[in-house]
Amino acid sequence: MADDLSDTLKKLKITAVDRTEDSLEGCLDCLLQALAQNNTETSEKIQGSGILQLFASLLTPQSSCTAKVANIIAEVAKNEFMRIPCVDAGLISPLVQLLNSKDQEVLLQTGRALGNICYDSQSSKEQFASTNIAEELVKLFKKQIEHDKREMIFEVLAPLAENDAIKLQLVEAGLVECLLEIVQQKVDSDKEDDIAELKTGSDLMVLLLLGDESMQKLFEGGKGSVFQRVLSWIPSNNHQLQLAGALAIANFARNDGNCIHMVDNGIVEKLMDLLDRHVEDGNVTVQHAALSALRNLAIPVINKAKMLSAGVTEAVLKFLKSEMPPVQFKLLGTLRMLIDAQAEAAEQLGKNVKLVERLVEWCEAKDHAGVMGESNRLLSALIRHSKSKDVIKTIVQSGGIKHLVTMATSEHVIMQNEALVALALIAALELGTAEKDLESAKLVQILHRLLADERSAPEIKYNSMVLICAVMGSESLHKEVQDLAFLDVVSKLRHHENKSVAQQACLTEQRLTVES
């Protein structure tokens, strides 16, 4: 087999130059057979033989062997190690030209070859970025009217458009205008092909907005025609366009400047109207996308109060009954962003028993780590931003304390810290109300463990000591602190390299000594 393959590769080098079609076809058949039997080994031999460079000259529209050559390229490009050599061998340009072919087999194999070369390989995509493939593909796309050919080009464009440099090249080559035209042409059609093309076109449009440069170029300070057209998709009656419109807004909302401009220009109201249309038996993907956009828009501090007064919390709370984890996750994230440093809103939400009870329920959603984490973070945020006794009482009554104590043991430092700060506020403001729950959640033992653990971050040690001092106002918790010999652990931290930790250790040690 190995000898036959070596002979075939030698013969192919000669026949490729002589262009004797019959002998060439026989050699190509042998290669395809060898690839079917052992793709990796055969691909290595092909790479070693230098034959890839000859394939570029064989990829001509008039040759009867073109489909087989493209098929061989598609097969070898299944191996990641062959993708860059295919680009280096100059195969991209002739393959792109073949997408003009009328021959269905040539089209099929060419699409496979281009798709496999750029599949899941950031190195090869960067190589593509140095070719003129973006421009070639867009030129070609503009010429096509047949659905199958457009679909084939879409299949090549989608993986390529994952690369940021190529995103920008595609935008500059005018792909966005083509996609907007397709959307306009197909939006009212109920033909299967048209519906598929509308979906592919609008999805690709959203993908182009994932690149920072391409997104900013299309935003054009909020005055861009593309941005305006995308906005018009949101009130559309077509679910696919509503989805693409909301996702596009979420992508435009990736920096403060854009977010501020969009909130000042009424985007929030459009998104709330869209959500309103999907409250009862709504489309989950549209709900998720609209909530994602609202969450991103709520990040700049200046937008929070504007969005709160526009009624965003009320619009979002309508989805509390949702049983879909992706919607739950975005709902929680949006509320958490909105109440950041907004004491009044945090207090209002924190006293909402239905919300707090739902949060406590989701804190136990072990199958959905994202929902569980966000529920814990929102519980903590309600306390931290409101600093309200009523909020703490609501959370205690709803059974939320144990979750905040568990959150203090999270593997994420940011979550541990948020939990400890919230617990310190509980201990300072409503220790009597929370005392039993803190005790049954084994808070004191957990704090001892966090202080004794050398891996605990400085801020975790600091806030754990602050909390120890705060819980000593409770007789039962004070007794637990005494029983666990905290003095030993705390005194070791007086010489901690972090000054704040060392100072807090001295203060905590004094407190423990005085009250022992």
User: Concatenated DSSP letters for 31-90?
Assistant: HHHHHHH-HHHHHHHHHHHTTHHHHHHH--TT-TTHHHHHHHHHHHTTSGGGHHHHHHTT
> Which residue did the predictor score with more confidence, 139 or 340?
340
pLDDT band at 254 (very low <50, low <70, confident <90, very high): very high
pLDDT over 50 at 249, yes or no: yes
- The answer to whether the beta carbons of residues 283 and 243 sit under 8 Å apart is yes
Confidence of residue 92 (pLDDT cuts 50, 70, 90): confident
Dihedral sign of CA atoms 446, 450, 452, 453 in order: positive
Give the pLDDT band of residue 131 (cuts 50, 70, 90). confident
Is 355 in contact with 394 (CB distance < 8 Å)? no
Cα–Cα distance measured from residue 360 to residue 380, given in angstroms and rounded to the nearest whole number: 11
Model confidence at 381: pLDDT above 80: yes
Question: Considering only 77-81, 262-266, 390-394, which range has the smallest mean pLDDT?
Answer: 77-81
Cβ within 8 Å of residue 64, ≥6 positions away: 21, 25
> pLDDT, tens digit, for every residue of 260-300?
999 999 999 999 999 999 998 789 999 999 999 999 999 99
328 vs 340: CA distance, rounded Å: 19
Cα separation values, 390 from 271, 401, 429, Å: 32, 14, 10
Task: Give the whole-number percent of the chain exceeding pLDDT 70.
Answer: 96
CB 400 within 8 A of CB 360: yes
Give the confidence band of 127 by pLDDT, cuts at 50, 70, 90: low
Q: DSSP class of residue 102? A: S
% of the chain beyond a pLDDT of 90 = 50
Average pLDDT taken over every residue of the chain = 89
Give the mean model confidence (pLDDT) for residues 21-38.
Answer: 84
The token pair that represents 24 in the structure block: 């060439």
Residue 165, burial from CB neighbour count under 10 angstroms (0-12, 13-18, 19+): middle
**Residue 2: its pLDDT value, please?**
55
- Which amino acid type is present at position 96? V
Cα separation, 484 vs 433, whole angstroms: 23
Using pLDDT thresholds of 50, 70 and 90, give the confidence band for residue 1. very low
Both tokens assigned to 442 = 């084994």
In angstroms, the CA 234 to CA 229 distance is 10
Residue 322 CA to residue 283 CA, distance in Å, equals 11
Identity of the highest mean pLDDT range in 100-109, 148-157, 330-339: 330-339
The pLDDT confidence band at residue 125, using thresholds 50, 70 and 90, is low
Max mean pLDDT range (200-214, 219-233, 325-339):
325-339
Tens of pLDDT, residue by residue over 453-501, are: 989 999 999 999 999 999 999 999 999 988 888 888 999 999 899 999 9
The answer on pLDDT for 124 being more than 60 is no
Neighbours of 192 (CB within 10 A): 9
DSSP string, 412-445: SHHHHHHHHHHHHHHHHHHHHHHHHHHHHTTHHH
- What is the CB-side half-sphere exposure of residue 480 using CA atoms within 13 A? 22
Q: Report pLDDT digits (tens) over 489-515.
A: 999 999 899 999 999 999 999 998 887
